[in-house]
Amino acid sequence: MAWLDIITPGYSALGLGVGFLVGLTGVGGGSLMTPLLMLLFGISPLTAVGTDLLCACITKVGGTLVHGLSGSIDWKITGLLAIGSVPATAVTLLVLYCLREYGGGGSQLISAILGAALIVTALSLVLRQRILAWSLRYFGELSPDTAARLTVATGALLGVLVSVSSIGAGAIGCTVLLLLYPRLPVARIVGSDIAHAVPLTLLAGLGHWWLGSVDWQMLISLLIGSLPGVVIGSYTSSHIPDRILRPILATTLAVVGGKLLG
């Protein structure tokens, strides 16, 4: 059939593997999909980021629906994150456009930021509990106004990171929110972060479409693998201890990040 001609098995296999990891651990989508598209298939950084952003948006819509129905989204936190991320995303996309048009250095910048973001993500996965304990010991619990301001700032940081590298909305976002709202249940932290990731990745993805850096054929192939992969991984996650999964994922991210920086 004609529609089968647009499917690339290699992309679908990558989508399946990454989707499986996302279902297992809750992170790893942008952290692995974008760099592996670059390293395994030779996709340009801008195209890898743009295509992965729309792929992430579509897959996280389902997660938002599940968390929304279960009441595990704090919409105030989601809104504060968006106040920071939306303008930061718009400005970052404009900078990427200028780099592409006038500087030609966009690819090198993205590769460098991508590698650094992967290593930071890996550290946040391994050291999350230590970071939380240290923060509570030395800073205590923040006032509501201070937490709100820092949430907006966090949104701005995520807007820049996600627009440039497609990384940050998962592990980094959750780690910072846990520091800002230590009394909030983890499920509401994760739900709020996922809900914020949908408009963030949609806006950033549409911006990359405007830049001409979205490969629609690749996107379809990735989704064919990632959607069932997320379901399978989510089912399997209850059978594999988190203490085993997190070090494996963190090591993978650190190795891939080191390759990009090297």
CA angle 70, 74, 75 (to 5 degrees): 110
The domain ranges of the chain are 40-261
Alpha-carbon distance of 25 to 150, in angstroms, equals: 26
Alpha-carbon distance of 26 to 170, in angstroms, equals: 7
Alpha-carbon distance of 152 to 138, in angstroms, equals: 22
Q: What is the pLDDT along the chain (262 residues), one digit of tens a residue?
A: 445 567 788 999 999 988 887 776 666 666 788 888 988 999 988 899 899 999 888 877 877 777 777 788 899 999 999 999 999 999 999 988 887 655 555 566 777 777 787 787 778 777 877 877 887 777 777 888 999 999 999 999 999 988 888 877 777 788 788 888 888 887 788 788 888 888 998 999 999 999 888 999 999 999 999 888 877 876 776 677 767 777 777 777 787 777 777 6
**pLDDT of the residue at 1:** 45
Alpha-carbon distance of 239 to 62, in angstroms, equals: 22
